[in-house]
Amino acid sequence: SQQGEEDPQALSIQEGENATMNCSYKTSINNLQWYRQNSGRGLVHLILIRSNEREKHSGRLRVTLDTSKKSSSLLITASRAADTASYFCATGLITQGGSEKLVFGKGTKLTVNP
């Protein structure tokens, strides 16, 4: 079953605006990651935030994590047309065997209009 659920499912904005995507999850996690996928391609890792962190920055990306609400947000500032892609959150779940598996949400499709 899906662990993370992103919202909105789709987001359309103008270049220069900020884009905010949210992710909610169900179980305790070790970390939460955000990925980007261009149409028909593999996923590319953007940023990882650990469960003991509350906020992380990478260039124009800002990720927050609220473990009490089991939610995370990804903010892309000053968006560009090249940011158009689908964005996924993923959580690392500890299995019964003690290993960790990576489970993804359904994604947010972001369109940045020039």
Partner 1 sequence: SQTIHQWPATLVQPVGSPLSLECTVEGTSNPNLYWYRQAAGRGLQLLFYSVGIGQISSEVPQNLSASRPQDRQFILSSKKLLLSDSGFYLCARDRGETEAFFGQGTRLTVV
- In the block, which residue shows the tokens 């359309």? 12
**Does the footprint of partner 1 cover residue 101 (CB under 8 A)?**
yes
Phi/psi of residue 3, nearest 5 degrees: -100, -50
Which residues fall within 8 angstroms of residue 14, CB to CB, at 6 or more apart?
Answer: 79, 112, 113
Which position among 23, 65, 85, 90 is part of the footprint of partner 1 (CB under 8 A)? Answer: 90
Distance CA 91, CA 3 (A): 7
Residues 39-78, mask of contacts with partner 1 (x by CB under 8 A): -xxxxxx--x------------------------------
CA distance 94 to 101: 7
Site for partner 1 in 14-43 (CB under 8 A): 30-31, 33, 35, 40-43
Question: Which residue, 12 or 18, has its beta carbon nearer to partner 1?
Answer: 12
Q: Which residues bind partner 1 (CB under 8 A)?
A: 2, 30-31, 33, 35, 40-45, 48, 88, 90, 92, 95, 97, 99-107, 109
